[in-house]
Amino acid sequence: MKSLVLYYSQKGSNRYLAERIAKALQCEIEPIRPRMDVPLLMMMGVHFGNKKLSHEVGSYDRIILCGPIWTGQFIAPLRSFVKRNIANIKQLVFVTCCGSSYEKKDEKFGHGMVFKKVQELLGDKCVGCQAFPIGLVMPADQKENGELMMKTHLNDGNFKGEIAERFEEFVRKLRT
């Protein structure tokens, strides 16, 4: 299956995750580049679309879309990509490195709520959603430490243990 990884990342964790996925699947990868890349404005709904992609979305069997969650939203650059390209998307998997834990996924700012939005937008074309909460790479007694959470980013040094195991399982499924 021919896959293309597309990602948006502000602080680097979702870029790291996207790069790992592309490497594991040996597929191509490209960043989504908002015309105006100002997170605060995008969070308030001010978004002027994305720059043109160099890859042709319609020539891939599956898009793997990777990006953060902000204030419980399916963020503007990702949503805008889906809306513009929906006719050409055959299958899409949404992946996020986010702040919300698996336990809190169904709370107001949890990733479970965003997964519902992605599924609503894409219907049957959405074939999977996967979260890798940043808490997975934080010390067990610090997982509720919001300040530390904001300072923690995925990298080769901390991508170990549970997150690496979950990642291997995730890519194994994508390969089958």
Ligand X SMILES: Cc1cc2nc3c(=O)[nH]c(=O)nc-3n(C[C@H](O)[C@H](O)[C@H](O)COP(=O)(O)O)c2cc1C
- Contacts with ligand X by CB under 6 A lie at 9-14, 68-72, 97-100, 109, 111, 134, 153
Q: 3 or 133, CB closer to ligand X?
A: 133
Of 25 and 69, which has the nearer Cβ to ligand X? 69
Q: Which is nearer to ligand X, 116 or 175 (CB)?
A: 116
Minimum distance from residue 61 beta carbon to ligand X (Å): 25
CB of 59 to ligand X, least distance (A): 26
Min separation Cβ 113 and ligand X, Å:
9
Looking at the Cβ atoms of 116 and 172, the one nearer to ligand X is 116
Residue 175, H or E segment = helix 162-175
Beta-ladder partners of 96 = 131
What's the closest the beta carbon of residue 15 comes to ligand X, in angstroms?
6
DSSP 3-state assignment of 51?
A: coil
Tell me the angle at which helices 111-122 and 76-85 cross, rounded to the nearest 10 degrees: 20
The closest alpha carbon to 47, from 80, 9, 74, belongs to 80
The C-alpha torsion from 33 through 38 and 41 to 44, rounded to 10°, is 60
Shortest spacing between CB 154 and ligand X, in angstroms:
7
Nearer to ligand X, 24 or 86 (CB): 24
- Tell me if 82 sits within 8 A of 89, measured CB to CB: yes
10 Å CB burial of residue 78 (0-12, 13-18, 19+) is buried
